[in-house]
Amino acid sequence: MTKRLSPETIAAQAGGAVDPVTGAIIPPIHLATTFERDPDNQYRRGYVYSRPDTPLTRQIEDVLCELEHGARALLVGSGMSAATAAFLALERPAHLVAPNVMYWGLKKWLAEDAPSYGIRTTFVDATDLEAIRVAIEPGTTRMVWLESPANPLWGVTDIAAAAALAHEAGAILAVDSTIATPVLTQPISLGADVVMHSATKYLNGHSDVLAGALVFARADAYADRAARFRSMVGTVIGPMEASLLLRGMRTLHLRVRHQCRSALQVARHFDGHARLEETLYPGLPGDPGHAVAARQMVGGFGGMLSIRVKGGETAAIRAAANLKVWKRATSLGGVESLVEHRASVEGPGTPCPTDLLRLSVGLEDPADLIADLEQALVANT
């Protein structure tokens, strides 16, 4: 029997597909929005119109299924369109349990927009399994949504334990695994029913494509409804962006492993630093999520961390202004390191402390990143 290929082999070769017509090693970009019908009125070549899907969406979905151990995947134009498709595919009325601390845009949609679609959410401390258990309404709760590690405090949830709680109550478990990436965690193997990615982040990795994906444990009616949403509403990704994404995914493992090593180095350097209140990173032994993360994340703790600057909001914003190597910008997961004063973005009601700077570690020499942060904190006084 042939051994199953390792995930990095699959990613590096984009699933191994070679264009059957030309032998091209890199798949062609088909700009066509429409495909020819056979003389007998059939579509035997499998493509009809580019709103439901395209050759590149299918190829990327095959790779994502392999990386996440899923049965079916759905590639769309943003992480937000992936996540909202996962919610809107639920039967209504729907009750959801979701984290207090999670990607802000998605929390805002659940809190402010979802109710008008018949979706009600209870937000809980998702690092506390007992809080999740209490919030689940058996028979009514349709989904438990998790993010682990979760933006921007990097709290960790035991995915396998949360899956058991959700399933006991007849709900499904969905995981926003953008930060963990398929390199470090495969939530479906831990019992999750759906995995969501903002492919804008690590999957693409170069801050030049907006994309999102869902990967389903089963090709069932729920997955059909999510796919129908894409094909009816047109949240499909364009062929140019899909091609860039597939190129980015080829180096996913290399990038993420390097980013994990550098992030750990930065976190260790600044843990206990005289000018900081706190360094938040699940890779630090003192972090409350460390034990679960060490079990659940294989090969690293991710490329994201946060620091809390002594002196409050003003000192934090000033430190960010002093940085030269780290770029002040939102988003994460790219090859260049980014810093963001997250509370400014999230606004009133955010659980994010105002002295917090979120750091996305890129591929630069970690010594340069550490030195730049050092000078920025010193220049503050």
Ligand X SMILES: *Cc1c(COP(=O)(O)O)cnc(C)c1O
DSSP string, 132-168: HHHH--TTTEEEEEEESSBTTTTB---HHHHHHHHHH
Nearest distance in Å: CB 179, ligand X: 6
201 is catalytic: yes
| H helix or E strand, kind and range, residue 356 | strand 356-360
Q: CB 346 → ligand X: shortest distance, Å?
A: 13
Q: Which residues contact 77 (CB under 8 A, 6 or more apart)?
A: 210, 211, 212, 235, 236, 237, 238, 241
CA atoms within 13 A on the CB side of 236: 22
Residue 73 three-state SS = strand
Do the beta carbons of residue 70 and residue 25 sit within 8 Å?
Answer: no
Nearer residue to ligand X within complex by CB, 152 or 276:
152
Of 53, 103, 275, 281, the catalytic one is 103
Per annotation, catalytic residue among 133, 201, 275, 358: 201
Residue 158 annotated among the catalytic residues of the structure: no
Nearer to ligand X, 151 or 185 (CB): 151
Return the residues of window 141-160 that contact ligand X according to CB under 6 A.
147, 151
* Set 53, 158, 176, 372: catalytic member: 176
For the bound state, the minimum distance from the C-beta of residue 145 to ligand X, rounded and expressed in Å, comes to 11
Smallest distance from ligand X to CB 79, Å = 2
Within 104-123, the residues that bind ligand X by CB under 6 A are: 105-106
Q: Which of 60/80 has CB closer to ligand X?
A: 80
> Segment 56-85, which members bind ligand X (CB under 6 A)?
78-80
Smallest separation (angstroms) from ligand X to the CB of 71: 22
**CA 155, CA 126: separation in Å to the nearest integer?**
8
Q: Is 175 in the site for ligand X (CB under 6 A)?
A: no
Stretch of residues binding ligand X (CB under 6 A), selected from 99-107, 233-241, 317-325, 341-349? 99-107
Burial letters 151-163, b for 16+ CB under 10 A, else e: bbbbbbbbbbebb
Most distant CA atoms of the chain, gap in Å: 77
The smaller minimum CB distance to ligand X, of residues 14 and 195, is found at 195
Sole window of 50-58, 103-111, 114-122, 138-146 interacting with ligand X (rule: CB under 6 A):
103-111
51 is catalytic: yes
d(CA 374, CA 60): 40
Asked whether the beta carbons of 345 and 355 are under 8 A apart, the reply is no
Check if 176 is active-site: yes
Which string of x and - marks every residue 192-221 that binds ligand X (by CB under 6 A)?
------x-xx--------x-x---------
Residue where the block lists tokens 């942060």: 373
Written as six digits, the tokens of 337 are: 């390191």
Residue 146: which of 164, 130, 159, 161 has the closest Cα?
159
Nearer of residues 223 and 304 to ligand X, judged by Cβ? 304
3 state DSSP class of 54: coil
Count the neighbouring beta carbons within 10 Å of the beta carbon of residue 341. Answer: 21
Residue nearest to ligand X (CB): 79
CA distance 355 to 364: 25
Stretch that binds ligand X, among 29-37, 116-124, 175-183, 318-326 (CB under 6 A): 175-183
The residues of the shown chain that bind ligand X, judged by CB under 6 A, are 78-80, 103, 105-106, 147, 151, 176, 178-179, 198, 200-201, 210, 212, 332
- Residues assigned a catalytic role: 51, 103, 176, 201
